[in-house]
Amino acid sequence: MSDPDLYPDLRKAGGLSAAFNVALSALESRLTAKDLPEDIRFVNYARIAADDRFSQVYIAAEERLFLIDFWRAGVQYANAQTDSLALSARLIDSWVGKACSLDELCKLPAIRLRPGAKAFDAGNEVNFAWERYLSDDDDLPELRELFRLAAAVPKLRQLFPFTSLHRLCFSRCTGYPYVCDLPYLCPCEDGTYEARDAKNRLLYKGTAAEAVQAATAILPADCGPARPGTADDYTAT
């Protein structure tokens, strides 16, 4: 639990979301902060959203600090830390309320870009994701061979790669939550590799190259290239 003496403004307003609504109102912002659902409201948290953008705010327990993240289309572009409620509200209103550009956000105080933010902003997120996995020898070494082989297959390379529970997965969209209706690849303890479909049914077990080939063979003809947005956006169209 956070020390209430660190946040007298929150206590006066009646909570984190209420305090942000006061600060946003002072900016003549159109935004409204919302709390977590009542059954999980043990975390000091507020969410401010509009269109395809949102920010989440948490507060530190042992020092006065607002921890903020900045999302668009299912991608976290930046975060910030500040002890100022007024600055926190201004940052969020700029990103969520006024839909400022990433370059404009970078010029504001306390902003720290996330890795790959500029690649996502430029529409180069698929290539960035693949190159990140291919260039990091320490990242999931058990998947190293799968990364290399899958990246060489155009039908897979056009999809957005992500990992989950030591599996190499592929998405039709580049934001989270991902579209999880495509086959995935995973290593086995006996040194072989498996290709499984989205319902976890075994397609093939053998070498890495054979598993990649089996996964590629059942891809729908129209499954790529991956596009910006989330699974919700994809299923809604």
pLDDT at 23 over 50: yes
Tell me, yes or no, whether 48 and 145 share the same domain. Answer: no
Are residues 98 and 141 both part of a single domain?
no
pLDDT tier, 43 (very low <50, low <70, confident <90, very high otherwise) = low
- Give me the pLDDT at residue 35, please: 77
What pLDDT does 123 receive? 95
Tens digits of per-residue pLDDT, 46-79?
999 999 999 999 999 899 999 999 999 999 999 9
- In this structure, are 146 and 218 located in the same domain? yes
- Residue with the bigger pLDDT between 111 and 166: it is 111
pLDDT at 201: 96
95/74 Cα distance (integer angstroms) = 14
Residue 143 DSSP label = G
One domain for residues 108 and 182: no
Domain shared by 154 and 65, yes or no: no
pLDDT at 42 (0 to 100):
45
Mean pLDDT of the chain: 92
Residue 224: predicted pLDDT: 79
Are the C-beta atoms of residues 143 and 89 closer than 8 Å to each other? no
Q: Residue 37 has what pLDDT? A: 62
Give the model confidence (pLDDT) of 182-211 as tens digits. 999 999 999 999 999 999 999 999 999 999
What's residue 32's pLDDT? 95
Answer yes or no: do 81 and 9 share one domain: yes
Task: Indicate if 28 and 110 belong to the same structural domain.
Answer: yes
Q: Is the pLDDT of residue 41 over 70?
A: no
Give the pLDDT confidence score for residue 165 in this predicted structure: 87
To which residue do tokens 């929150």 refer? 10
Q: How many separate domains does the chain show?
A: 2
End of a domain among 121, 155, 187?
Answer: 121
* One domain, residues 110 and 145: no
For residue 212, pLDDT beyond 70:
yes
Yes or no: say if 183 and 218 are a contact pair by the CB < 8 Å rule. Answer: yes
* Exposed e or buried b per residue across 211-231, where buried means at least 16 C-beta atoms within 10 angstroms of its C-beta: bbebbbeebeeebbebbbbbb
CB 161 within 8 A of CB 133: yes
pLDDT of residue 36 exceeding 50, the answer is yes
Q: What percent of the chain has pLDDT over 70?
A: 94
pLDDT tens-place string over residues 126-173: 999 999 999 876 678 889 999 999 999 999 999 999 999 899 999 999
Expressed as residue numbers, the domain containing 166 is 125-236
Does this model's pTM top 0.75? My answer is: yes
- Strand 45-50 and strand 33-34: pairing? antiparallel
Considering the domain architecture, whether residues 113 and 8 belong to the same structural domain is answered as yes
